[in-house]
Amino acid sequence: MRKHTALRVMTATAATAGALSLGLAGPAAHASTPLDYVALGDSYSAGSGVLPVDLSNLLCLRSTANYPHVIAARTGARLNDVTCGAAQTKDFTEAQYPGVPPQINALKADTDLVTLTIGGNDNNTFINAVTACGSAGLLTGGKGSPCKDKHGSTFTDQIDTNTYPALKAALREVRAKAPGARVAALGYPWITPAAADPSCFVKLPLAAGDIPYLRDIQAHLNAAVQRAAEETGAVYVDLSAVSEGHDACADRGTRWIEPLLFSDSLVPVHPNALGERRMAEHTMAVLGLD
């Protein structure tokens, strides 16, 4: 995952201007001219593991309670949700599975709004980092930083070398297909706390020194998403501040991300229903849709 970057401050004037440009001056605008909204992205956008499941495409593990559906319900937008679990940037322009066309096929010249999370599955960053660090943590009983010691900058190097240019290319493809749309690229909400908490080991079996290491990878990924968004004219939706304290180590009812062990979801280390709602609410606030 990715690293720090300066937060963009949106003024009330900018938010109002953005709302007007999308025909979102108020509830009446929603009713008379609903937004043509296309949701792209991976499992964090699909809401994989959150019930109810979208039965129209079981391969994608998409939920009808994911953040795109929340945004659409609250704004009156016409939603075309093509999010898909395990999607990588290449799946924007290639078929992810038989019968699952490239995601950008859903975009049109008159698309008004596009949201997405993407990049976490490129190089298998999320799954490789969590699996490697979880296994190492179990072997050391939570002591030291075995994952960091073994892998060092491997994950962040892959993000810089492979994921960042792929993100930029994917966002350019989105812009080409929907030149008039407002595009929002969301960062990933925190999976781990900022520092080790002994009580967390039963939920996330990571060594104490690997908690900040894994968080640094995620921050690095988010920074790459932000950089690619800014360089392609997209809006970056920074979830780092609002998701602080809602990581997988937090209690039920507080956490936005389900833990690896004793999870309430069949898809652990992913947002739960609360997380999807909060992602929607923050995205709407950043875009001036609330």
Q: Mapping DSSP to helix (H, G, I), strand (E, B) and coil, where does residue 122 land?
A: helix
Q: Say whether 43 is catalytic.
A: yes
Answer for the pair 189, 279: CB distance below 8 angstroms, yes or no: yes
> DSSP states of 129-166 as a string?
HHHHHHHHHHHTTT-S-HHHHHHTTHHHHHIIIIIHHH
Q: What is the DSSP track for 1-16? A: -B---PPPPPPHHHHH
Identify how many contiguous H helices and E strands the chain contains and give both numbers.
10, 5
What is the C-alpha to C-alpha distance for residues 93 and 171, in angstroms, rounded to an integer?
A: 11
> What's the rounded Cα separation, in Å, for the pair 219 and 215?
6
What is the rounded distance in angstroms from the CA atom of residue 261 to the CA atom of residue 265?
Answer: 10
Q: Please identify which of the residues 32, 43, 48, 199 carries the catalytic annotation.
A: 43
Task: Identify the active-site residue in 69, 151, 220, 270.
Answer: 270
Judge whether 63 counts as a catalytic residue. no
DSSP secondary-structure letter at 111?
-
What's CA 233's distance to the chain center, in Å? Answer: 18
**Residues with catalytic annotation?**
43, 270
